[in-house]
Copies of this chain bind each other. A is one copy, B any other.
Amino acid sequence: MPRVSDITPSWIAVDWGTSRLRTWAIGADGGILASACSDKGMRALDPSGFEPALMDLVGGWLPASGVSPMEVIICGMAGARGGWREASYRSVPCRAIDDGEMLRFSAADRRLNVNIIAGLSQSDPPDVMRGEETQLAGFVALHGLSDAVVCLPGTHSKWVRLDGGNVASFQTVMTGELFDLLANQSVLRQPTASGANDNAAFLAAVDTMVARRQDLVSSLFSVRAATVLTGGDADTVLSRLSGLLIGAELAATRMFWNENDVHLVGGDISARYAEALSHVGAAVFVEDAIEMTLTGLRAAHAILIERAA
């Protein structure tokens, strides 16, 4: 790996999430020359904070003034309302990104041309995504699968049906956010938990939601009551809570995974989803989320170059 100041990238790839900012310096051959990340996700920033947060990571990769500006391709929350600048949404059904719609503007530092990839929207039921469309484009490019079900678990999990290479429909479930609120701030909170997974408790809770089709809202307090009445290890309690919430997500998205292979594109939490989906009988393939993101960003950059030519 060269010293940062020696790097001369061809362009810069950026994944701007709610809680993390990830950047890559991409060489002329498409390879990664360097990468950097910080906790300057959208949540930590107001609109004026985006350019400085980006410059902190990529400033050393930029050429001297006076040459042509560096193209920066960004997916994710930089384009949300309250982000750097609001980018549009494209309506499904549509290609994930390959019509190349991007919000393009010069940064205050004229060495940077910013390109923010459009999100996707759905009118009925209303839904939106930003960032996942780029991973979906990467998924299609890498696997050549034009019909598939993709689950992107996380703070706001997305379930997506790809049909003929189009994003046909999708569904967001706030599972990660509900877990964080309930596990840290509700009567179910467990300050002494270590984070270890009690897999038997987790899967039993998945069954409560998927096989026994219980209601989530009436099952949540049972977790608390069982602890009061019979005791319970803090990690077991949180594993049960996680199983109820992921189980409720699976019960609500049955039309996606029932009788379909599921491709999981996500971080560490993918392991729990793989466990739960296998348990309810779905065939699961765990994909490399960062590879999907980078492949999608490369596809967006290729479209940009092609149009400029």
Where the two chains meet, the residues of A that have a C-beta atom closer than 8 Å to any C-beta of B are 81, 89, 121-123, 125-128, 156, 171-175, 177-178, 181-182, 185-187, 215-222, 224-226, 228-230, 245, 248-249, 251-253
Contacts and interface: CB of A to CB of B under 8 A. Distances in A.
A167 B112 CA distance: 70
B229 A89 contact: yes
A217 B126 contact: no
A218 to B, nearest CB: 4
B177 A252 contact: no
Given A156-B221, A215-B251, A221-B156, A229 B177 contact: no
Number of copies: 2
Given A126-B226, A215-B248, A228-B128, A221 B186 contact: no
10 contacts: A125-B225, A126-B226, A127-B225, A128-B229, A173-B217, A174-B187, A181-B181, A217-B245, A218-B249, A218-B252
A221 B252 contact: no
A218 B101 CA distance: 28
Contact of A248 (B187, B217, B251, B253): B217
A225 B172 contact: yes
Which of A121, A225, A252 gathers the greatest number of chain B CB atoms within 10 Å?
A225
A252 B217 contact: yes
